[in-house]
Structure 1
Amino acid sequence: MIIRNAMLQQGLCDIQVADGLIKEIAPVRTLPSADEDYDAEARIVIPGMIDPHVHMRCPGMENKEDWVSGSWAALAGGVTTVFDMPNSLPATENLEALELKRLAAAKADEAAASGGYAVPGRMYWAGCSPETVQLLPELLCEADVAGLKLFFSETSSNSSSTDINFISRAFAAAAEAGKPVAVHSELGALLNGGSECSSYLESAPLIQHNSRRPAGAAVAGTALALELAAVAGCRLYVCHISTMAEFAMIRKHKEAYGADSVYAELTPHHLLLDENHIVKGGFDSWAKVNPPLRSIADREAAAEALLDGTVDVIGSDHAPHLLTDKTMDTRDFHECPSGFPGLETELGFIAGFLKAEVPGNESEWIGRLCRLTSSRAAEIFGLSGLGEIKAGNRADLTILNGPQRVDSDGFMTKAKYSPFNGMKSDISVYKTIVGGKIIGQ
C-alpha cells in the first residue's frame, strides 16, 4: 500500500507500507503504483498515539468496558498502543492475574480476526500491595509489563498504601528491573480534609469535590514519591499532574537528577478544564475525576508546563463508568464514581491546543504533538519500532482532519458521556492505521 499526499512534519510525502511496516518515505509522485493506493489529500499524518494511562476495566468490570469496546474507542481516537492500569478484578499483582488480563484482551484479537481489522498494541502496568510486593521481581520481568503502578489513595478497585518501607521496597524492585514506577500521588491521609460546604447552593459540586481532595494531597504525595525515587534510583512517572506546585517540583527534580529521572504526564482535562467547568447538555457529575479538576491558576500552570517542555507525555486516564452511574442528581454527587472516558477525545484537543499555542510554522506544532503523543512514550518505555514515522517502524499511523464537535452519544466506548460533550476541537481524527490496516471513522 502507498499512502499518498501525507502531510508529515517535514512536508508533503508518500509513504510505502508492506507487511505491516513502513518501507519508504519519499517525495510525492516518486513511488511506483501499488496494489492499494490511499490518498490522504494533504491531511496531517502522525505516528499512532501511545497512551500510557488507560483503564480497560477487565477482567472483572466488563459492564463498564471490555477489550473489544475499549479497542474500538482507542482506534476512533487515533490511539494505536494502550497501557492498561492494574486496578482490575483481580488486580494485576501476580502472574496469574496478568494471564487473566491477557486472556481478556485476547477476545479483542478474536473479534478483529473475524472482522478483518486490527487492534491497538497493548502493554500492562503491574500493581502491588504490602502483601504482594515480594512477587514484583518476576512480574516486572514480563516483556509486556511496562512498569509498576502505585496508588497512594483508594480509587477504583485498587490497593493503596503510603507505608514508607513498602514503597521503598517496591521502588527498589522497579529500579532493579529497569522499569519506571507510575504513581497516583494523592495521599489518602490528606483526603476529605478540605473545607466542607454546608449545601450545594453555596458551591458548585466540582469545587466541593476539589475541596475534599485538596491540591495539597497531590503535592505532598508527589514530593514523597520524588524523594523516595531519588533514594531508590528508579525512574518515576507521575500520573495526571494537576497542580502548579507539582510542576514546579518536577522541573527542579529534572534539573537536579536529569530529564529521565522523572516523567510528567498530563491529561487533556487538567489542561483544558477547571473546577468551574459546566458540562454542556450533561451533568456536573460527568466531570468528576481524581485528581479533581483544579483552579484556573493550576490549569494555566499545566499549559505553561506543556509548552516549556516539563510535560513528557499525554495520557487520557480513560476511566469509563456506566452512564447511569455518572448521570445523577446533584444531591447524589458524592455517590457518583470518579472518572470518564478519554480515548476518543484526547488527541483532537491536544492537537488543537498545540496548533493554537506553539509559535512558528506548522512543522513546529506537529513536531511537538508527535513527541507528546508518541515518540517520548516510546523512548520512556523502550518501544522499539514505534513512535516515529520512519522506514522499518511499524505502520501505526493517525490521519488528522478538521474541526469536530464532541457528541458522546456516538462514542465507541461503553461510557457514553464526557465532560467535553458539546465542545468543538479544532482538529479531529480522520482515520487510524494499525500495522498497515486502515480503520475508517
Structure 2
Amino acid sequence: MPSSPRTLIVNARLVNEGREFDGDLRIADGRIAEIGTGLSARDDETVIDAAGRRLLPGMIDDQVHFREPGMEYKADMATESAAAVAGGLTSFMDMPNTSPPTLDAAALEDKYRRAAGRVWGNHGFYLGASNDNLEAIRTLDPLTAPGVKVFMGASTGNMLVDDPEILDAIFREVPTPIITHCEDTPMIEAETARYKAKYGDDIPAACHPDIRSREACIKSTRLAIELARRHGTRLHVLHISTADELALFEAGPLVRADGSRKQITAETCIHFLRFDRRDYETLGHLIKCNPAIKDPSDREALIRAVAGDVIDVLATDHAPHTLEEKHNPYVRAPSGLPLVQFALVAALELVHEGHMGTAQIVQKFAHAPAQLFDVAERGFLREGYFADLVLIDDAPVDGKPFTVERSQVLSKCGWSPFEGRSFRSRIASTWVNGRLVWDGERLVGEPDGQRLTFAR
C-alpha cells in the first residue's frame, strides 16, 4: 500500500464500542496510530479540527450488488464504490449474481483483479452457490471470501439452489459463514400467476409485498435455520423484511461476554426502516425490491429489533437499475434500489428520531459486520487498526437539514429513492486506509481501496 498522509484529527466526539467520548485521533501509515486527548501536532501532520463533530469507524456494508462483470451499463465497481465512500461506507462485500455468476475460485479472483486500482473502498467478494458447484464450495479457501451466498429464493441466472440434497450438503460442508436470501420460490410463482391473471403484465406496484409475501419469507427462513442448526453452520440471514421472522432469532449481543458469538444472525436493510407499503403510491417500482418492502407495522418492528439486538447487522442491499428499466410494467421492472450514498445518513435519522443511539448504528453498520465475517483490523476505532473513518456533520452551516437531489447522486444509474427527502446529518469527510477520499462535497485523490483480509 502506498504511504498515506499523516493526519491529526482533534476535538472529535468519537463513537466506538458502545461509547461516545471526546478525544483526538492520529493517523499514520494508513492506520490509527494514537487515540487520546490533548494530542500535540507534529511537523509532518495535517491537523483537522472536528469541532465536536462525531467521528465514527467507516461503515462495512455486507451486501451490495455493484453489477460487475456483465451489467456495467447500470453500475460498476468504480462508480458504486465512489458513491459508497461519499456515504461513509468504507468497505463492502459484493454479491455473486453477476454475469457470469461468481461460482468458482477463478471467477472470484477475476473480481478481485477488476477491483484493483479502481475501487474507492475496501472490498470482499462472495462465492455463490448453485445446484452444481458443490465442489467449488467444498474447496473454497476461507481466506478468499467473506462467505458463501445461497439464494433460497428466485435469483438472477443459475443461482437458485432448490435441490434439497445439494442444499443440505452445502450447509454441511461450507468452510465459511453462509449468507442466505430467504424467499420460497413456488409460493412467489403461484402468487405472480394469480396477479397476472387479474392484471396482465401491468400489476400495480403496491401488490409487490403480496406477491413476494411474508409467508414466502417465513417458510424459507425457517428452512435455512433448520439446516444451520442441524449442521452447526454459521448462518447469516439477509434483508429481514417482516415482523413475523423476528421471533426466529435470538436477542442479545452478537459477541457474548464469554467471547462466544451467535451461530445464527440476522440482517435488515435501510430501506425496510425508512419506507413501507404506503410509499408505493408515490415511488412505485423505484422501491420494488426482493424481498419486498412491507407494512408500516413491519417497519416499526424492524426498528425495534435493531435497537433490541434481535437484528445484528444493518446493510444496504444496494442494487441499482436504470430509470428506463424501473419504468417498465411490473413483470419487467427489475427489483433493487441504489442506496449506498445516503444509507448512513438515513440510518442516523433513527438517532434524531429517538429510536436508538449513534453507538447502536455503529455497532450494526461497522462493528458487527467485522465480527461476523472475521474482517481483520477494520470496523473499530482502535489503535493499530486501519484508519477507515467517517466524520459526521449534524449542524450544517445553514442550520437546515439537507435535501437529496438527483444532481448529487454518484451511482451510475443516476437516481436515488431518497430524492426529495431531508436528513439532519451529512457526511463531512471519509478516510479509507488513512487517505481522505471524500471532503463533504467531492471525491479526493485516486481510488486505492484494498482487498479485505479475514482473520480465520
Task: Verify same fold: TM over 0.5.
Answer: yes
**Equivalent residue runs for 1:352-367 within 5 Å:** 352-358=349-355, 365-367=357-359
Match in the other structure for 2:91: 81
The one of 363, 370, 374 aligned to 1:378: 370
Partner of residue 389 from structure 2, selected from 393, 397, 400: 397
Q: Deviations over 1:223-256 (max 9, x none)?
A: 000000100110111110001111111138999x
- Using the alignment, how far apart are the partners of 1:426 and 1:295 within structure 2? 25
Counterpart selection for 2:411 from 413, 417, 421: 413
2:252 aligned with 1:250: no
Q: How does 1:220-231 map to 2 (within 5 A)?
A: 220-231=219-230
Query: More displaced, 186-195 or 11-20?
Result: 186-195
Matches within 5 A, 1:265-414: 265-278=267-280, 283-328=283-328, 332-358=329-355, 365-402=357-394, 403-414=401-412
Map of 2:139 onto structure 1: 138
CA pair 431-204 structure 1, distance change in 2 beyond 3 A: farther
For 1:322 and 1:83, the matched residues in 2 are separated by: 22
> 2:64 aligned with 1:54, yes or no?
yes
CA contact (8 A) 1:254 1:261 kept: no
Question: RMSD of the TM alignment (CA)?
Answer: 2.4
Equivalent pair of 2:206/2:281 in contact (CA under 8 Å): no
Q: Take 2:409 and 2:57, find their aligned partners in 1: how far apart are those partners?
A: 22
% identity of equivalent residues = 30
Number of residue equivalences: 416
Q: Which residue is equivalent to 1:115? A: none
- Relative to its length, the structure with more helix (as a share) is 1
What's the CA shift for 1:426? 2.1
Residue 146 of structure 1 aligns to a residue in which SS?
coil
- In structure 2, give the amino acid aligned to 1:376: A
Q: 2:126 matched to which residue of 1?
A: 125
Q: Counterpart of 1:113? A: none
Amino acid of the residue matched to residue 94 of structure 2? Answer: D
Q: How does 1:224-239 map to 2 (within 5 A)?
A: 224-239=223-238
Look up the SS of the partner of 2:265 in the other structure: strand
Could you tell me the TM-score, scaled by structure 1's length? Answer: 0.89
Q: Distance in 2 between matches of 1:33 and 1:388?
A: 27
d(CA) in 2 for partners of 1:163, 1:259: 30
What is the CA–CA distance in structure 2 between the aligned matches of 1:411 and 1:308, rounded to whole Å?
33
Q: Does the residue aligned with 1:11 lie in a helix, a strand or coil?
A: strand
Q: Distance in 2 between matches of 1:425 and 1:23?
A: 33
Q: Is the partner of 1:82 in helix, strand or coil? A: strand
> Which residues of structure 2 form unaligned runs of 5+?
1-6, 395-400, 442-456
Residue type of the partner of 1:135?
A
Q: Distance in 1 between matches of 2:344 and 2:411?
A: 16
Q: 1:234 to 1:171 in 2, by over 3 A?
A: same
Give the alignment partner of residue 66 of structure 1, picking from 76, 92, 110.
76
Quote the residue 2:208 is aligned against.
209
TM-score, structure 2 as length reference: 0.86
Displacement of 1:327: 3.0
37-46 or 27-36, which moves further after superposition? 27-36
Q: Secondary structure at the match of 2:190?
A: coil
Gaps of 5+ in 1: 110-118, 360-364
* Deviations 1:260-297 (CA, angstroms, capped at 9, x unpaired): 111111101111211110476xx411111111110112
Query: CA–CA distance in 2 between the matches of 1:352 and 1:378?
Result: 23
